[in-house]
Amino acid sequence: MPDTFLQFLVMVPICAGLLALGIPRRLKGFFALLASFAVLAASFLIFGKESSLKLGEIGFGIALNFRLYHFSSFIVAAVSAFTFFSALYCLSFFNKSNNPRQFHAYLLLSMGFTNGAVLADNLVAMLFFWEGLLLVLFALISQSGSNAAFKTAIKAFVIVGISDLCMMAGIALTGRLAGTLNITEINLMPQGLAGIAFILLVIGAVSKAGAMPFHTWIPDAAVDAPLPFMAYFPAALEKLLGIYFLSRICLDLFKLQAGSGLSVLLMSLGAITIILAVMMALVQKDYKRLLSYHAISQVGYMILGIGTALPVGIIGGLFHMLNNALYKSCLFFTAGAVEKETGTTDLAKLGGLFRKMPFTFISFSIAAVSISGMPPFNGFFSKELIYDAALERGMIFYLAALAGSFFTAASFLKLGSAAFLGQSRQEHKEAREARPTMLIPMITLALICILFGIFNNLAIKKLFQPVLLGSLQSNHFFDFHTNITLVVITLLVLLGAFIHHLIGVKINGSGLRAVDHIYHFAPFHKIYVWQEKKYFDPYEIAIKLGRRISDLLWRIDRMIDWVYDSLVTGLVYTFSRTIHRLHSGYYVVYLIWALAGAFLVMLFAFK
Amino acid sequence: MASVFILAPFLLLIILNLPFKFLRRGIAFWLAAGLLLIQILSSALHQRIAAHIPPDLLRLFFSFKLSLDTLALVMLFTIGIVALVALLVARATMATERHKFNFINLLLISLTGMNTTVLVTDLFSLYVFIEVTALSVFVLMAIEKNKFAIEGTFKYLILSMIASIFMLTALAFFLLSCRDISFSGIQAAFSAHSNVALLNVAVMLFLCGLFIKSGAVPFHGWVPDAYSEAQAAVSVLLAGIITKVAGVYVLLRLFGTVFVVSANLQNVIMFVGAASIVLAALAAFRQGDMKRMLAYSSISQVGYIILALGCGTPLAYLGAVWHFFNHAIFKSLLFVNSASLQKKFGSTDMAIITGMGSQLPVTSATSLVGLLSTAGIPPLSGFWSKLLIIIALFSAGKIAYAAVALLTGVLTLAYFLFLERNVFFMRTDMTLESKGGVPLSIKLCEVLLAAITIAVGLGFPFILKILHYTWL
The confidence score (pLDDT) of residue B325 equals 93
Bridge partners of A63? A57
Segment among A357-361, B42-46, B236-240, B433-437 with least mean pLDDT: B433-437
Cα distance between residue B114 and residue A15, in whole Å: 87
> pLDDT-derived band of residue A607, with 50, 70 and 90 as boundaries?
low
Domain presence at residue B467: yes
Top-confidence residue, A240 or A190: A240
| Amino acid present at A586 | Y
Q: Between chains, do B283 and A583 touch, taking CB under 8 Å as contact?
A: yes
The confidence score (pLDDT) of residue B1 equals 64
Based on the fold, state whether residues A369 and A354 are members of the same structural domain: yes
The confidence score (pLDDT) of residue B62 equals 62
Based on the fold, state whether residues A515 and A385 are members of the same structural domain: yes
The mean predicted confidence, pLDDT, of chain A is 81
Angle between helix A147-178 and helix A193-209 axes, rounded to 10 deg: 150
Nearest to A576 among B208, B221, B282 (CB): B282
Q: Between chains, do A594 and B162 touch, taking CB under 8 Å as contact?
A: yes
Based on the fold, state whether residues A265 and A354 are members of the same structural domain: yes
Final residue in a domain of this structure, among A498, A517, A536: A536
Please list every residue in chain A whose beta carbon sits closer than 8 Å to the beta carbon of residue B264: 604-607
How many separate helices (H) and strands (E) can be counted in chain B?
Answer: 21, 0
Write out the residue range of the structural domain in which residue B397 sits: 262-472
Q: Measured between CA atoms, how close is A587 to chain B, in angstroms? A: 6
Is B155:B145 a contact under the CB 8 Å cutoff?
A: no
Based on the fold, state whether residues A524 and A391 are members of the same structural domain: yes
Domain presence at residue B241: no
Nearest to B282 among A579, A602, A605 (CB): A579
- DSSP code, position A463: I
Q: Is A563 on the interface with B (CB under 8 A)?
A: no
Write out the residue range of the structural domain in which residue A302 sits: 256-471+482-536
Nearest to B158 among A575, A583, A587 (CB): A587
Based on the fold, state whether residues A300 and A385 are members of the same structural domain: yes
Mean pLDDT computed over A586-607 = 86
Domain presence at residue A105: no
Based on the fold, state whether residues A400 and A321 are members of the same structural domain: yes
Q: Is A606 on the interface with B (CB under 8 A)?
A: yes
ipTM: 0.84
Domain presence at residue A340: yes
Domain presence at residue B197: no
Q: What is the distance in angstroms between the CA of the first residue and the CA of the last residue of chain A?
A: 105
| pLDDT score of B76 more than 50 | yes
Q: Measured between CA atoms, how close is B209 to chain A, in angstroms? A: 9
Is B242:B88 a contact under the CB 8 Å cutoff?
A: no
Domain presence at residue B344: yes
Is A233:A137 a contact under the CB 8 Å cutoff?
A: yes
Nearest to B286 among A580, A587, A589 (CB): A580
Domain presence at residue B155: no
Domain presence at residue A587: yes
SS3 string, A528-577, reads HHHHHCCCCCHHHHHHHHHHHHHHHHHHHHHHHHHHHHHHHHHHHHHHHH
The confidence score (pLDDT) of residue B248 equals 93
Q: Measured between CA atoms, how close is A558 to chain B, in angstroms? A: 21
Domain presence at residue B31: no
| pLDDT score of B58 more than 60 | no
Final residue in a domain of this structure, among A516, A536, A556: A536
Q: How many domains does chain A have?
A: 2
Domain presence at residue A206: no
Top-confidence residue, A276 or B452: B452
Q: Between chains, do A595 and B162 touch, taking CB under 8 Å as contact?
A: yes
Is A315:A385 a contact under the CB 8 Å cutoff?
A: yes
Mean pLDDT computed over B408-428 = 86
> pLDDT-derived band of residue A475, with 50, 70 and 90 as boundaries?
very low
Domain presence at residue A283: yes
| pLDDT score of A464 more than 80 | no
Q: Between chains, do B159 and A595 touch, taking CB under 8 Å as contact?
A: no
Please list every residue in chain B whose beta carbon sits closer than 8 Å to the beta carbon of residue A607: 264
List for chain A the helix, strand, coil content (%; round to 5): 75, 5, 20
pTM of the model: 0.63
Domain presence at residue A268: yes
The confidence score (pLDDT) of residue B170 equals 92
- The tens digit of pLDDT for each residue in A20-68 reads 787 877 777 788 788 888 888 888 888 777 777 777 777 777 778 888 8
Q: Between chains, do A598 and B208 touch, taking CB under 8 Å as contact?
A: yes
Domain presence at residue B118: no
Domain presence at residue A225: no
Based on the fold, state whether residues A288 and A375 are members of the same structural domain: yes
Find the radius of gyration of the CA atoms of chain A. 30
Mean pLDDT computed over B112-136 = 91
Domain presence at residue B65: no
| Amino acid present at B452 | I
Cα distance between residue B227 and residue B304, in whole Å: 19
Based on the fold, state whether residues A563 and A487 are members of the same structural domain: no
Q: How many domains does chain B have?
A: 1
Based on the fold, state whether residues A547 and A449 are members of the same structural domain: no
Helix (H, G, I), strand (E, B) or coil at B25: coil
> pLDDT-derived band of residue A369, with 50, 70 and 90 as boundaries?
confident
- The tens digit of pLDDT for each residue in B271-286 reads 999 999 999 998 888 8
Q: What number of other Cβ atoms are within 10 A of residue A591's Cβ?
A: 16
Domain presence at residue A167: no
Q: What number of other Cβ atoms are within 10 A of residue B431's Cβ?
A: 6
- The tens digit of pLDDT for each residue in A86-136 reads 888 887 777 766 667 778 888 888 888 888 888 888 888 888 888 888 888
| Torsion sign over Cα B168, B172, B177, B180 | positive
| pLDDT score of A245 more than 90 | no
- The tens digit of pLDDT for each residue in B135-183 reads 999 999 888 888 888 888 999 999 999 999 999 999 999 888 887 888 8
Cα distance between residue A519 and residue A282, in whole Å: 9
| pLDDT score of A76 more than 90 | no
Interface test with B, best of A601, A603, A604, A607 (most B CBs within 10 A): A601
Final residue in a domain of this structure, among A520, A536, A552: A536
How are beta strands A62-68 and A51-59 bridged, if at all?
Answer: antiparallel
The confidence score (pLDDT) of residue B88 equals 92
Q: Between chains, do A587 and B154 touch, taking CB under 8 Å as contact?
A: yes
Cα distance between residue B344 and residue B356, in whole Å: 10
Top-confidence residue, A170 or A514: A170
Within 215-244 of B, beta carbons closer than 8 Å to A belong to 218-222, 224-225
Q: Is B285 on the interface with A (CB under 8 A)?
A: yes
Mean pLDDT computed over A441-464 = 80
- The tens digit of pLDDT for each residue in B178-203 reads 878 888 888 888 888 777 888 888 89
